[in-house]
Structure 1
Amino acid sequence: MSAADGAPRTGAPPWPRIAHALAPAGVYLGVRAVGVAVLALMAGPRLVAELTSWDAAWLLAIAEHGYAGVPADMLDAFGRHTPETPLGFFPGYPALVAAVGLLTGGNLVVAGLLVAAAAGVAAAYALTAIGELVPGGSRRAGLLLTALFGATPMSVVLSMAYTEALFCALAAWALVGVLRERWLLAGLCAAGAGLVRPTASAVVGAVGLAALAAVLARRGGLRPWLGGALATTGLLGYLGWVAARTGAPDGWFRIQRTGWGWYLDGGAATLRYLGGVLTAGERLFDAVTVVGLVGSLVLLGLAIVQRVPWPLVVYGALVVLPVWATAGLMNAKLRLLVPAFVLLVPIATGLARRRAGTAVAVVAAAALASAWFGGYALTIWRYGI
């Protein structure tokens, strides 16, 4: 990398090179540190309990006991527990937490939070690369994209024992693989994402279509074929395993509907929710959720207008549209938008062209607002996230 790209010249003193190499991690951890610090002020001695609440309790229980050993007093959204209930959670994150737990003396809480932190840093490097690779991108745009990702409204989940940080790391690196046409990287990361969250359908779709485009353009030989096929293995493998376990081809989808209340309805429930909030809503969380939902469509349109690379747009659309099109816990929809990080690309590239002071002020304001809202979501809001 040349000095024009923002990297120190070869032969320069080592500290600038070290700072350059650590910048993505520093930016991400700095923003998230603000969020955790504000949460600590609001939660007090319950900080760790809040960081391992809601879905985190299920994920840590699966990491400790496996699917068959989850305690019977852990109930689904309707107050039930069946042998199939835990299967609604994908295995990638709990398996990784269990593995890291071997290094933490069996302390799975520490392991879960370490996995989330390390995955967030991995995502930061991928996001910085995406910011450099898009048209009009730069190192500054990449770092701003990383900062904005760490400061989204529900970015508190990136510091919790949740799947979001790990999924976003794998998804972002898969997209880096697509942009660089490194199909093995793209396929492997998409396959890994398919073991972490159902949102992996967006990654699989983006990687698969990009690989198909490369095949049709006769680029890359057999590698796009391999990457595209590999991308499907994680998601289809887990859904197939649940189907075999439950004896129903749509086993995982049945668990989601009957146990957790999630199912495709074309957006009817979301529109009813928006209408209710806009006409009679009184709760801040609901108001921010509506802004986030509407904002996601605005940002998707902006990404299209500004000609963000089409695989990124496809990925963003396949994250956002199912959030709109599913019935379920409306309070969780803001969290489900966290993986739509590609929609922040136009903001990051626009800020990168502004004065440094303006960019820093915007990021600082976003980080502080996100920090307070994350604390509010965990310590004041009484419902699930």
Structure 2
Amino acid sequence: MPQSTLDVTVERSSPFRTAVRQALPAVGLYLLFQVVSFGLLWLMSWKADVSPGRFVDDFDASWFLSVAQHGYDQQVVAGADGAPGENSLVFFPLYPGLVAILTLFGIPALPAGLVVSVLAGCAAAWGLFVLGRDFASPRVGLLMAVLWSVGPGSAALHLAYSEAVLVALVAWALVAVARRQWVLAGALALFAGLTRASAGALVAAVGVAALVAVFQRRDGWRPWLGGLLAPLGLLGYLAYVGIRTGRADGWFWLQNAWQMHFDFGQFTWEQVKEGLTVDRASWITVTALIVLVAVALQLWTWATRLPLPWQVYGTLTVVIALCSSNYFQSRARFLLPAFVLTVPLALALAKLPNRVLAVLLPSAAVLSGWYGAYLMTIAHLAP
């Protein structure tokens, strides 16, 4: 190969290699803390005389894996009172679709689901690092990725759940918005809308950012296209479920099988009061404290100068997480996509010396891993 060609090849590959090298600590710590968390799940499962595999593919994971293997093959059934039965249509298609692709290569559904979760988590940690680096510094980016990976709901990141895929898409969509790559941002929001209903927060964030660009007459037609692409995944799947159920509100109606609906935070507030005042299950108290910390962090983000799309996404994600009417123990997992809550904390922790962080972050990983494992193995609840 001529020397000139070699020089061009090195020059072209260098930015990517540099980006990978910079993100490696964030991705590496993410993987390390997931190993710690899964190790705690394995240990507590062993002490409870139950295989950890019993929990890895249980709860929501069993529904996702069923869709990956069989598609949406259930008939929509309503009881005599008109209430729906539990149906896999509630679970959005992107995550099980990715799992199904891996099964085409002979990988069983459960290992395929875990591979998708792990790889998506790595992509999410990388995206969060880039967000924080570009906003403040590489140290802040690293801390954002690590704080997200050790959050109280992070047990979902090593289960066959879709949170890791959602956060990866959200993080890189916000990177694209910051770089004014409107078509890419809209496309990523479209795919996020095929992952979870809470992606509506990202759709709103991309839409607001695109509108600002349009009003400021920046970037021509691109923000128009990005803003129009963003809601298509979410709206498309809701329309599909509407057709399957014969109801315009089909997806929301099916949620009633799990007693889930938007209640403006009434259920959460009642559970928080109970957790702080009534001597009942300890997990209720722990979850109540997590909710209060999340609210405090949300107020802190409002007092921090963050990009408008971040504020829109973070606020709406917290509202969605705290205003559903069931599964109080899952509030930490519902809050996991609200990684904007980590930004003011990362800015504060970035001022601490490494020796202090070397104690704080692993301790947080152990506490978080214990909490997730406790819910599954002792309390027998979905994380």
Q: TM-score, normalised by structure 2?
A: 0.89
After TM superposition, the structure 1 = structure 2 runs for residues 34-73 of structure 1, keeping only pairs within 5 Å, are: 34-44=36-46, 46-68=51-73
Paired-residue identity, %: 40
Q: Which runs of 5 or more residues in structure 1 are unaligned?
A: 1-11
Secondary structure at 1:153 match in 2: coil
Q: Hey, what does 2:11 align to over in structure 1? A: none
Q: Which amino acid aligns with 1:53?
A: D
Which residue of structure 2 lines up, in the alignment, with residue 198 of structure 1? 197
Structure 1 contact 300–313 (Cα < 8 Å) conserved: no
Q: What code does the residue aligned with 2:26 have?
A: P
2:306 counterpart SS class: coil
Query: What corresponds to 1:383 in structure 2?
Result: 381
1:80-136, CA deviations, whole angstroms, 9 ceiling, x for partnerless residues?
997871111111111110001112x140011000000000000011000111122xx
Q: Which residue of 1 aligns with 2:212?
A: 213
Q: 300, 303, 313: which is aligned to 1:302?
A: 300
Between the aligned partners of 1:17 and 1:215, the Cα distance in structure 2 is: 31
Letter matched to residue 23 of structure 1: P
What's 1:88 paired with?
Answer: 90
Letter in 2 for 1:54: F
The alpha carbon displacement at 1:340 in A equals: 0.5
RMSD between superposed Cα atoms in Å: 2.3
Higher mean Cα deviation, 61-70 or 240-249?
Answer: 61-70
- Which residue in the other structure is 1:111 paired with? 112
Deviates more, 1:231-240 or 1:346-355: 346-355
- CA distance in 2 between partners of 1:240 and 1:266 (Å): 24
Pairwise CA distance, 1:182: 1.3
1:19 shift after superposition? 4.8
Letter in 2 for 1:36: F
Measure the CA separation in 2 of the matches of 1:362 and 1:210: 35
Q: Distance in 1 between matches of 2:118 and 2:110?
A: 12
> Which residue in 1 is equivalent to 2:22?
20
Instruction: Name the residue aligned to 1:9.
Output: none
CA contact under 8 A between 1:277 and 1:287: conserved in structure 2? Answer: yes
- Offset, 1:22: 2.2
**AA partner of residue 119 (structure 2):** A
Contact 1:35 1:368 in 2 (8 A): yes
**8 Å Cα contact 1:50/1:378 also seen in 2:** yes
C-alpha distance after superposition, 1:67-86 (max 9, x if no partner): 1159x9xxx9xxx9978711
Q: Deviations over 1:158-215 (max 9, x none)?
A: 1100011111111111111112221122111111110010001101011110111111
- Give the distance between the partners of 1:350 and 1:279, measured in 2 at CA: 32
Q: Decide whether the 8 Å contact of 1:256 with 1:263 is kept in 2.
A: yes
Is 1:353 the equivalent of 2:351? yes
- Report the equivalent of 1:291: 289
Q: Tell me by how many angstroms 1:294 deviates.
A: 1.4
Sort the Cα spacing of 1:252 and 1:35 in 2 relative to 1 into closer, same or farther, 3 A.
same
Q: Which moved more, 1:266-275 or 1:215-224?
A: 266-275
Asked whether the 8 Å contact 1:28–1:124 carries over to 2, the reply is yes
Secondary structure, aligned partner of 2:73? helix
The corresponding residue for 1:6 is none
Q: After superposition, where does 1:114-129 map in structure 2 within 5 Å?
A: 114-129=115-130
Deviation at 1:157, TM superposition (A): 0.4
TM-score when scaled to structure 1? Answer: 0.89
CA distance in 1, matches of 2:140, 2:293: 21
Deviation readout 1:202-257 (Å, 9 max, x if unpaired): 01011110111111111111111111111111000000111111111111111112
Tell me if structure 2 keeps the 8 A contact 1:84–1:246: no
Summarize the alignment of residues 161-200 of structure 1 with structure 2, pairs less than 5 Å apart. 161-200=160-199
Q: Distance in 2 between matches of 1:188 and 1:374?
A: 33
Identify which of 308, 312, 315 aligns with 2:313.
315
Check whether the contact 2:23–2:126 (CA below 8 A) recurs between aligned residues: no
Residue type of the alignment partner of 1:310: L
Structure 2: runs of 5 or more not aligned: 1-13
Question: Which SS does the other structure have where 2:52 is aligned?
Answer: helix
1:265/1:327 contact within 8 Å kept: yes
Tell me the distance in 1 between the aligned counterparts of 2:86 and 2:233: 20
**Which among 311, 321, 330 is matched to residue 328 of structure 2?**
330
Cα distance in 1 for residues equivalent to 2:103 and 2:373: 27
SS of corresponding position for 2:197: coil
The alpha-carbon deviation at position 327 of structure 1 amounts to 1.2
Aligned match of 2:245: 246
